[in-house]
Amino acid sequence: MTELHLMTVAELSAALHAGRVSSVELTRALLARIERHDRALNAFISVDAESALAEAAAADARRHAGDAGPLTGVPIAHKDIFCTRGQKTTCGSRMLANFVSPYDATVVERLRAAGVVTLGKTNMDEFAMGSSNETSFFGPVRNPWDGARVPGGSSGGSAAAVAARLVPAATGTDTGGSIRQPAALCGVTGIKPTYGRVSRFGMIAFASSLDQGGVLAISAEDAALLLGAMAGFDERDSTSVELPVPDYTATLEQPLKGLKIGMLREFFAGLDPAIEQLIRAALALLHAQGAVVREVSLPNLPLSVPTYYVVAPAECSSNLARYDGVRYGHRCEQPRDLTDLYERSRGEGFGAEVKRRIMIGTYVLSAGYYDAYYLKAQQVRALIAADFERAFHEVDVVIGPTTPTTAFSLGAKSADPVTMYLSDIYTIGANLAGLPAMSVPCGLLEELPVGLQIIGPHFSEQKLLNIAHRYQCESDWHLRVPRGFG
Ligand code: GLN
């Protein structure tokens, strides 16, 4: 039997089903791995061994009672943006460093109902604002492929934990690329579903019209298994879509013959030639399976970063207004009056990047500038969505790189926010248009992973997972493990 920590969720599910391992054994083995490796990586903000083992024992009991599903007893981790009842949920911020949620997020609740065991909560950029995990109050996460480099962000802890095989899968959220970008930089598979596919209830809000929960895993098959358990209508999220959830695993094997792939011209203009070569090699593999590849153009796509950096801060300034030191979250010592309470609680509780976004957001929403910035950004957002819609009349999916570079060094971009914002140049478009998108490992450049991005029309998750799975049947990049973690 393959070593437990190297097994995919699908393999673990089979091993649990066959009685080759119990959930308690598996949970112990992974807790020991976290104990051994996480000091160096800092991928976890909290690990709750006691509750994980209790959940594992309950999963084993369920199995003995003949009541187990495919995920029963499989241990995973949650990004610390998802509320977990009775456990800390910090969102990577001092503001919530001691916040214990009174309820589970819908995503957490559904995965628990499927029998999944929660090992812990993963590190992240503060309030999911960042592309490198360096804005976390709990310190940066290190990339398992090279400890001097960032794992990407904001779901950097989840990506690093999966890449280092501390967990077989983890949840993440993606507002502008936070699942796909760290997945690419850590060499794991990530999916951001269609906006509205996964409930945002209990997922701490950053930019509500863009935020979407999803999965980081070893393989597309595992992403399909977990997404199926997380997705679906939730009356507690008014933007959740009332559509049945298909069995994402049922269509993974479908042949790709006749699939029309659009190569995104705007993503290849100025792209690093070494990354371009790997993306083209991946396209060649899909072509060999019968897909036809042609170029498509989305002329407004280059406007996505400036558009996002108006819309996302605007929504964040409104969402984060709730942290006032009164109801919950950090409260300053001995406030003089109410204004002092607000000012010092927020001043002490939020880090620099969060403050920057709140100020930009407040500015673009102010009466004098609303039309010039916020309204304009909404108009451009509609143009970008229309570009994608037009492209999907011609092709089934569009493909390009996930990121412009491989993992960069810690500190390399933290002094210059705009350089950092450009890390998401290829991922933000899908969020603005609400589209599902994936990142799939497609090569290594100087021992650092590169991701292939696949974007499809609304609710085409099945198609994306099918393409990613067929690609992974013909390649083994997703199975590569960083040195020292095998
Ligand atoms: N890096 C982007 C930002 O800083 C996206 C973050 C995200 O998707 N949560 O806003």
178 C-alpha vs ligand 1 centroid, how far in Å? 5
Which of 126, 154, 174, 308 has most ligand 1 atoms within 8 Å of its beta carbon, as the pocket-test mutant?
Answer: 154
**pLDDT at residue number 2:** 80
Question: Does ligand 1 lie within 6 Å of residue 431's CB atom?
Answer: no
CA 438 to chain centre: 10
Which of 307, 424, 453 has most ligand 1 atoms within 8 Å of its beta carbon, as the pocket-test mutant?
Answer: 424
Question: Does ligand 1 lie within 6 Å of residue 424's CB atom?
Answer: yes
Question: Does ligand 1 lie within 6 Å of residue 31's CB atom?
Answer: no
Question: Does ligand 1 lie within 6 Å of residue 174's CB atom?
Answer: yes
Q: Which atom of ligand 1 is nearest to the CA of 173?
A: 9
**pLDDT at residue number 368:** 92
User: CA dihedral in degrees (307, 264, 178, 435; nearest 10)?
Assistant: 80
Query: pLDDT digits over 397-448, tens only?
Result: 999 999 999 999 999 999 899 899 998 999 999 999 999 999 999 999 999 9
* Domain at 4-255: CATH code: 3.90.1300.10
433 C-alpha vs ligand 1 centroid, how far in Å? 15
Q: Which atom of ligand 1 is nearest to the CA of 424?
A: 1
CA-nearest residue for atom 10, ligand 1, is 129
Which of 93, 123, 129 has most ligand 1 atoms within 8 Å of its beta carbon, as the pocket-test mutant?
Answer: 129
User: Which pair of tokens denotes residue 155?
Assistant: 């779901």
Which of left, alpha, beta for 190 (phi over 0: left; psi -120 to 50: alpha)?
A: beta
CA-nearest residue for atom 4, ligand 1, is 130
Question: Does ligand 1 lie within 6 Å of residue 177's CB atom?
Answer: yes
- Show which residues are catalytic: 79, 154, 178
- 225/409 Cα distance (integer angstroms): 34
Interval 130-144 mean pLDDT: 98
Tell me the percentage of the chain whose pLDDT exceeds 90. Answer: 97
Under 8 Å CB-to-CB from 77, ≥6 apart: which residues?
Answer: 44, 118, 119, 120, 121, 122, 157, 158, 161, 166, 167, 170, 171
Q: Which atom of ligand 1 is nearest to the CA of 353?
A: 4
Question: Does ligand 1 lie within 6 Å of residue 190's CB atom?
Answer: no
Q: Is the pLDDT of residue 270 over 80?
A: yes
Question: Does ligand 1 lie within 6 Å of residue 403's CB atom?
Answer: no
Question: Does ligand 1 lie within 6 Å of residue 134's CB atom?
Answer: no
Characterize the bridge pairing of strands 260-264 and 437-445: unpaired
**SS3 of the chain:** CCCHHHCCHHHHHHHHHCCCCCHHHHHHHHHHHHHHHHHHHCCEEEECHHHHHHHHHHHHHHHHCCCCCCCCCCEEEEECCECCCCCECCCCCCCCCCCECCCCCHHHHHHHHCCCEEEEEECCCHHHCCCCCCCCCCCCCCECCECCECCCCCCHHHHHHHHCCCCCEEEEECCCCCCHHHHHHHCCEEEECCCCCCCCCCECCCCCCCCCEEEEECCHHHHHHHHHHHCCCCCCCCCCCCCCCCCCCCCCCCCCCCCEEEEEHHHHCCCCHHHHHHHHHHHHHHHHCCCEEEEECCCCHHHHHHHHHHHHHHHHHHHHHHCCCCCCCCCCCCCCCHHHHHHHHHHHHCCHHHHHHHHHHHHHHCCCCCHHHHHHHHHHHHHHHHHHHHHHHHCCEEEEECCCCCCCECCCCCCCHHHHHHHHCCCHHHHHHCCCEEEEEEEEECCEEEEEEEECCCCCHHHHHHHHHHHHHHCCHHHCCCCCCC
Query: pLDDT digits over 236-269, tens only?
Result: 999 999 999 999 999 999 999 999 999 999 999 8
Which of 122, 171, 175, 208 has most ligand 1 atoms within 8 Å of its beta carbon, as the pocket-test mutant?
Answer: 175
327 C-alpha vs ligand 1 centroid, how far in Å? 26
Query: pLDDT digits over 361-405, tens only?
Result: 999 999 999 999 999 999 999 999 999 999 999 999 999 999 999
128 C-alpha vs ligand 1 centroid, how far in Å? 6
Question: Does ligand 1 lie within 6 Å of residue 130's CB atom?
Answer: yes
474 C-alpha vs ligand 1 centroid, how far in Å? 32
Q: Which atom of ligand 1 is nearest to the CA of 423?
A: 1
Interval 136-149 mean pLDDT: 98
Q: Is the pLDDT of residue 161 over 70?
A: yes
Q: Is the pLDDT of residue 190 over 70?
A: yes
Interval 306-311 mean pLDDT: 98
Per-domain residue ranges of the chain: 4-255
Nearest CA-CA partner of 437 in 232, 266, 223: 223
Question: Does ligand 1 lie within 6 Å of residue 171's CB atom?
Answer: no
Which of 81, 91, 131 has most ligand 1 atoms within 8 Å of its beta carbon, as the pocket-test mutant?
Answer: 131
420 C-alpha vs ligand 1 centroid, how far in Å? 10
**pLDDT at residue number 1:** 67
- The pTM assigned to this predicted structure is 0.98
Q: Is the pLDDT of residue 58 over 70?
A: yes
Tell me the percentage of the chain whose pLDDT exceeds 70. Answer: 100
324 C-alpha vs ligand 1 centroid, how far in Å? 23
Query: pLDDT digits over 164-181, tens only?
Result: 999 999 999 999 999 999
Question: Does ligand 1 lie within 6 Å of residue 312's CB atom?
Answer: yes
Query: pLDDT digits over 9-54, tens only?
Result: 999 999 999 999 999 999 999 999 999 999 999 999 999 999 999 9
Residue 440 contacts residue 476 (beta carbons within 8 Å): no
